[in-house]
Amino acid sequence: MLSSLLLQVASTLELGVIGKALAIGIATIAAGIGIGKIGSTTAEGIARQPEAGSDLRMNMIISAALIEGVALFAIVVLGFIL
């Protein structure tokens, strides 16, 4: 039953499309994890040295923007491949 269902799915959808969709999902999840890590370490840094808060916050925003740009680029490129 399951093998016939898998064959039917494989025949209607290309496995490459599924792989590319998974790659888009992984790129999005990785960007979310990276931005979350930046936010948590910035919060720890501000908690340890409140006087350096503005510098840390600016560096966090720049780093998050760079990560978001790379993730958006990956999603767009993979989207065109689909």
Residues of 19-47 as b/e, b for ≥16 C-beta within 10 angstroms? eeeebbeebeeebeebbeebeeebeebbe
pLDDT of residue 35: 93
Q: What is the pLDDT of residues 68-81, one digit of tens each?
A: 999 999 888 887 87
* Closest C-alpha among 30, 39, 28 to residue 64: 39
- C-alpha 80/C-alpha 72 separation (Å) is 12
pLDDT of residue 5: 63
* Whether the predicted model's global pTM rises above the 0.75 cut: no
pLDDT of residue 66: 93
Cβ–Cβ under 8 Å, residues 31 and 71: yes
pLDDT of residue 78: 82
Residues of the chain short of pLDDT 70, as ranges, are 1-3, 5-13, 15, 82
